[in-house]
């Protein structure tokens, strides 16, 4: 055992250990460290007494406060369900106009609608409902079947060309493939259709427009309307605006007229509750309103 000596510089005792002439001072642990050690130990003992702490085989020490995370979560879930039930039942009962006039309910429509839309509709219509090739833009305010909440709810309920008994049916025939129109007539009507939305036409296209106008009046106006503005009863799109399901360039319009188009929108009755369909119809309605 080495002998403790006093260090001449600091005046402290040394531990007596010595390595190559270097000796170790016997400095005590600082008071503040001891204080925190005592404080945290006391806190731990207090916490063990008050809160659930020690496992005891099948059970555990419950703590004097009776705090139980499981109970707290159950209570929170019940509260949330009760809160949701209070406004979902109001949405179920109220008319579309009443809900639209109630800012508090419309806040729920926006919040819940966004989730429902993301879960069920966004795969086809995009997260913001802006659609894509083959899938209509629901935020454009240009509707196939009408943009009232009633019409939108009906579209969601029965679908379009779906397997539901009362599905909406959209049939754009294959005028070219089925030989209803000759190739020249198809090309002419394509140019005319493109002129309706004010697109820039080549000279060749321009020259076809008058003939195309006649083909349109005889073959297309019955569904798309005499001015090409579409018809909600038939799901026939407005051909005069800038919104296209399949594209407004020459090749896309040619494909539409040559091969026909039958879009498929699934029916949601039975998969979504009537309240959810109602909520989604209102939510889809806000998509075009929110457009900046
Ligand atoms: C599998 C793809 C798909 C899914 C999923 C889908 N849709 Fe559609 N939806 C379509 C297609 C395609 C059309 C256009 C049909 C046509 O061209 O005739 C359409 C049309 C619509 C229309 C009619 C638009 C108009 O202009 O009248 C509404 C409204 C609509 N969808 C809402 C929804 C909602 C709400 C959901 C979610 C519950 C949904 N869709 C899910 C494919 C889908
Ligand atoms: C029986 C009714 C009907 C007739 C007749 C009809 N269409 Fe259509 N057309 C539709 C419907 C319905 C759609 C939408 C199809 C879909 O998306 O499901 C459509 C879609 C289109 C589109 C695609 C629009 C887009 O947004 O991409 C074009 C272009 C078009 N029609 C042009 C014509 C032309 C040109 C004629 C005449 C030669 C014609 N249609 C005759 C019902 C009709």
pLDDT digits (tens, 9 = 90+) for 235-269: 999 999 989 999 999 999 999 999 999 999 999 99
Q: How far apart are CA 234 and CA 223, in angstroms?
A: 7
Predicted confidence at residue 3, as pLDDT, reads: 73
Residues 6+ apart with CB under 8 A from 91: 99, 105, 108, 109, 275, 278, 279
Predicted confidence at residue 91, as pLDDT, reads: 93
Q: How far apart are CA 227 and CA 210, in angstroms?
A: 14
Predicted confidence at residue 2, as pLDDT, reads: 62
**Which residues, judged by CB distance below 6 Å to any ligand atom, belong to the binding site of ligand 1?**
120-121, 123-125, 134-136, 138, 143-145, 152, 155-156, 160, 170, 235, 245, 263-266, 268, 280, 284
Atom 43 (ligand 1) nearest CA: 265
236 C-alpha to center of ligand 1: Å? 14
Predicted confidence at residue 291, as pLDDT, reads: 39
Q: If we measure between CA atoms, which residue out of 213, 199, 288, 285 comes closest to residue 242?
A: 199
289 C-alpha to center of ligand 2: Å? 26
Residue whose token pair is 């091969």: 259
Q: Which of 224, 231, 238, 250 most suits a substitution to test ligand 2, by most atoms within 8 Å of the C-beta?
A: 224
Which ligand ends up closest to the CA of 192?
Answer: 2
Distances (CA, A) of 75 to 17, 66, 68, 72, 81: 63, 15, 11, 5, 10
Which ligand ends up closest to the CA of 162?
Answer: 1
231 close to ligand 2 (CB < 6 Angstrom): no
25 C-alpha to center of ligand 2: Å? 95
93 C-alpha to center of ligand 2: Å? 38
Q: Which of 124, 127, 133, 144 most suits a substitution to test ligand 1, by most atoms within 8 Å of the C-beta?
A: 124
Which ligand ends up closest to the CA of 262?
Answer: 2
Tokens of 176: 């070219």
Contact 210, 222 (CB under 8 A): no
Q: How far apart are CA 134 and CA 263, in angstroms?
A: 7
One pLDDT digit (tens) per residue for the chain, 292 residues: 567 788 888 888 888 888 898 888 888 889 999 999 999 999 999 999 999 989 999 989 888 988 888 999 999 999 999 988 889 999 999 999 999 999 999 999 999 999 999 999 999 999 999 999 999 999 998 999 999 999 999 999 999 999 999 999 999 999 999 999 999 999 999 999 999 999 999 999 999 999 999 999 999 999 999 999 999 999 999 999 989 999 999 999 999 999 999 999 999 999 999 999 999 999 999 998 643 3
Which ligand ends up closest to the CA of 261?
Answer: 2
202 C-alpha to center of ligand 2: Å? 23
């Amino acid at each position: 055992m080495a002998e403790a000596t006093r260090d001449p510089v600091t005046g402290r005792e040394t531990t007596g250990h010595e390595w190559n002439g270097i000796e170790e001072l016997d400095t005590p642990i600082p008071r503040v460290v001891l204080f925190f050690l005592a404080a945290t130990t006391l806190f731990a003992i207090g916490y063990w007494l008050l809160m659930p702490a020690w496992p005891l085989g099948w059970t555990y020490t419950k703590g004097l406060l009776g705090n139980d995370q499981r109970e707290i979560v159950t209570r929170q879930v019940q509260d949330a369900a009760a809160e949701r039930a209070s406004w979902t039942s109001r949405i179920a009962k109220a008319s579309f106009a009443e809900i639209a006039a109630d800012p508090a309910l419309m806040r729920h429509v926006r919040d819940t609608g966004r989730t429902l839309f993301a879960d069920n509709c966004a795969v086809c219509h995009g997260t913001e409902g802006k659609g894509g090739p083959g899938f209509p833009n629901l935020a454009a305010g240009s509707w196939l079947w009408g943009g009232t909440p009633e019409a939108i709810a009906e579209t969601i309920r029965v679908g379009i060309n779906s397997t539901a008994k009362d599905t909406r049916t959209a049939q754009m025939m294959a005028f070219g493939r089925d030989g209803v129109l000759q190739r020249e007539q198809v090309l002419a009507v394509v140019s005319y259709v493109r002129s309706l939305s004010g697109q820039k036409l080549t000279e060749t296209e321009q020259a076809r427009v008058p003939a195309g106008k006649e083909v349109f009046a005889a073959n297309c106006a019955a569904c798309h309307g005499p001015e090409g503005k579409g018809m909600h009863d038939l799901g026939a799109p407005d051909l005069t605006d800038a919104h296209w399901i399949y594209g407004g360039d020459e090749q896309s319009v040619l494909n539409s007229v040559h091969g026909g188009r039958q879009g498929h929108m699934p029916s949601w009755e039975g998969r979504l509750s009537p309240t959810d369909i109602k909520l989604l119809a209102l939510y889809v309605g806000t998509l075009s309103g929110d457009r900046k």
